[in-house]
A and B are shown apart, each in its own frame.
Chain A
Amino acid sequence: MSLRADSVLRVRWWLSFTSDGARCRGPAAGNGDLVPIVSTGNTAQVPDEPVLRCAELTRRFGERLAVDDVSFSLDAGEIYGLLGPNGAGKTTTIKMVCGLLEPDGGTITIGGRPAAGDLSVKSLVGYVPQDVALYSDLTARENLAFLGRLYRLHGALLEERVSEALELTDLSDRAGDRVDSFSGGMKRRLNMAAGLLNHPVLLVLDEPTVGVDPQSRHAILERVQTFGRGGMAVLYTTHYMEEAERVCDRVGIVDRGRLVAEGTRRELVARLGQRDRIELGAAGDLERLAAAVRTVPGVESADTADHAVHLVAEDGRRILPAILEAAERAEVALNSVDVVEPDLEAVFLHLTGTALRE
């Protein structure tokens, strides 16, 4: 599957008009530079406001606090990743942004305007849910045409938008085929195409690569980067560290409903100082090994995941002999020892005390 190099140019002008015809902030050219906002009508964006601002968002499900005082903002052309394990509160946050859940507390503004209950604000958002949400017994084109009509698109404009979305996701040649004949990766791409029909100012992607093959994953990530370069604001959730590192301009780390840190990759890694991440592969009792190495001076955290013990330690190379001794005392035979340069995984481990799991 190939990706089109001219997609940036296509995305560029999408952001000039919403589906309701109101003008919004958008890039002037394919290089992604932003132009001042020109406001006309009530759907336009307020000048100097971020595309998305979430302030002190809170959401409970019964006794469980799913989202706890989460605040972040997102500008045009920026890809913001919410990174965290399953159940951390990413999807709940996204559903509140898209108006699918009411927050118990806090505010959400999109284009400077409160999102709550405003259908014209919803027109600015493209939502790509985690599970493929398409009629499997309709063709790709029929699905997109239906969803386009919900955004009041019709006639030649609808045809044009559907064709564009299919082209952007490399599905033009399968437009007339039923969705149930598609591979998992193709369904994912069509799922994404459906979120692009209204030329959104904000594209919300909820774990768009879950369960797809590496080739499709690569294609989806490349496409998301293209949208960002084209000036679209993208809110992206994932629990894959490498995706967040590759795609996102800024990352918010979410754990147990709280946004524990946010920033660019560089900013987040800098929080670790001289700390390293060490992975100990072992065949024996990993919990026992983790407990043993936690006693080593310099080891800040140790957690087990994916048949290994993950450590964050100051100056990892210096204390490596002490760690090996601790493993020997614990009578656990090591298979491998990797000292990894600081990355988001290490940041997550440092901030939450646990490794990010699949």
Chain B
Amino acid sequence: MRAIAIARVSIRRIVRDRTALFFIVVLPVIVILIVGAAERGFTTFRVGVVDLGAGQAGRQLTTAFEHSSDLAVSRYATLAALRKAVARGELNVGVVLPSGMDVTEGRGGTVAVGVMAEQANSSQQAAATAVSSVIAGQGAKVQAARFASVHGSGTFEENLARAGSLQPHVAQVGLRSQTADSSHNVLPEGFSYSAPTMLVFFVFLNALAAGASIIETRQLGMYERMTAGPVRRGTIIAGETLAYFTMALLQATLIVVVGGVAFGVSWGDPLAATVLVALWALVGAGAGMLSGTLFHTPEQASAIGPTAGIALGMLGGCMWPLAIVSSTMRQIGHLTPQAWAVDAWTSLLSRSGTISSIAPQLAVLGAFAALFLVSATVRLRRVVA
């Protein structure tokens, strides 16, 4: 009961701190909203087009780009201007329509449409794919017009116009794909991306910042006062652990509930998600307590703790998927508990994982929790003494 009294007073002090409440409750929800909305926006790609020939074929292809719901098209007058925009990141891809397209098409030759995109950038590669899809659609119309002009009546231009007008009424050959052996290694887009990553990010970061509470309690002489009474050191440590675990669990639960109710996030298998949240709260509790014993002043904990939390969050894949970084960075990232937690959420949300499929991640997180909690306990015993 004494441990509960210690936990209650620690939680009461944190909850009463308006700044802490902002970081625990308000900021995560705001960031989930912003990151989720921004990540959703990736499905519309920004495409720049320069038409070097300024002929009818080029105009038709540009119009086809503009009619695609996946592309937001900007026209550029020169190749240099297009290159500059791609280099600056203003565009996902740049499309270069060569001169002489009308003549080549009429002759039945091959038109080489240039697409400028960074090969290592996944969103640029996705944009290039969307552009290729539009070009392929336009190519099909050209091919139909050529076939009609060779084997039927009318000129190529007349048949191209007819192919364009008939295309919506021609039965399409549908292609339906289904992933049989799923190996998705990134989280779904939108809020299903931002909510789990921000849960991992903020629970850990806020726990590190909350280490200031242990330092304050020590500086105020409260541990001395407690141990002068009928309270064992172990009871104090149990109380602090309970407080940090409860705060981390409350924040994680809040993000799960807000993510599910307000943003429609499906958290996957309930049992696996519950175990993962609880284990992550233990990791946070251990890290927070350790921070409270490593730093000397509350100011140090409040300043260095969040900085370390942000750095670890970046390395661990909370800011961007580790799938898009180099294998070296991915290996370094997996030295952080964040990477394992994000991997587990990825399995639950993208691959319909269960508790058995995330068992390796849970085991690693358990080891991190044990490491942090044991280290914090050893150090806190010294602090209390």
Chain A interface (Cβ within 8 Å of chain B)?
98-100, 119-120, 122-123, 125, 127, 129, 131-138, 142, 146-147, 149-152, 154, 194, 198
Contact = CB atoms under 8 A, between A and B. Distances in A.
A123 B13 contact: no
Given A150-B230, A150-B231, A127 B225 contact: yes
Contact of A138 (B13, B228, B229): B13
A194 B224 CA distance: 13
Given A100-B227, A122-B228, A150-B229, A138 B220 contact: no
Interface centre among A100, A142, A150, A151 (most CB of B within 10 A): A150
A132 B222 CA distance: 9
Contact of A149 (B2, B221, B222, B228): B2
B1 A98 contact: no
Interface of B: 1-2, 5-6, 8-9, 12-13, 16-17, 217, 220-222, 224-232
A133 B224 contact: yes
Contacts of B12: 138, 142
Contacts of B5: 146, 149-150
Given A123-B230, A127-B229, A146 B221 contact: no
Contact of B229 (A123, A136, A137): A123
A116 to B, nearest CB: 13
A140 to B, nearest CB: 14
B9 A138 contact: yes
Nearest to B2: A150
A136 B225 contact: no
A138 B12 CA distance: 9
Q: Is the interface of B mostly helix, strand, loop or mixed?
A: helix
Contacts of A132: 221
Given A98-B228, A125-B228, A129-B225, A135 B13 contact: yes
A194 B231 CA distance: 15
A279 to B, nearest CB: 37
B2 A147 contact: no
Contacts of B229: 122-123, 127, 147, 150-151, 198
A135 B9 contact: yes
A195 B209 CA distance: 32
A198 B228 CA distance: 12
28 contacts: A100-B228, A119-B231, A119-B232, A122-B228, A127-B225, A129-B221, A129-B225, A133-B221, A133-B222, A133-B224, A133-B225, A134-B220, A134-B222, A135-B9, A135-B217, A137-B16, A138-B9, A146-B5, A147-B229, A149-B1, A150-B226, A150-B229, A150-B231, A151-B229, A152-B1, A154-B1, A194-B225, A198-B229
Nearest to A133: B221
B228 A147 contact: no
Contact of A137 (B17, B225, B227, B230): B17
Contacts of B8: 146
B176 to A, nearest CB: 61
Nearest to A129: B221
Contacts of A100: 224, 227-228
A99 B1 contact: no
Contacts of A142: 9, 12
Contacts of A152: 1-2, 230
Closest 7 CB pairs of A and B: A133-B221, A149-B5, A127-B228, A119-B230, A133-B225, A98-B228, A122-B230
A123 B229 CA distance: 6
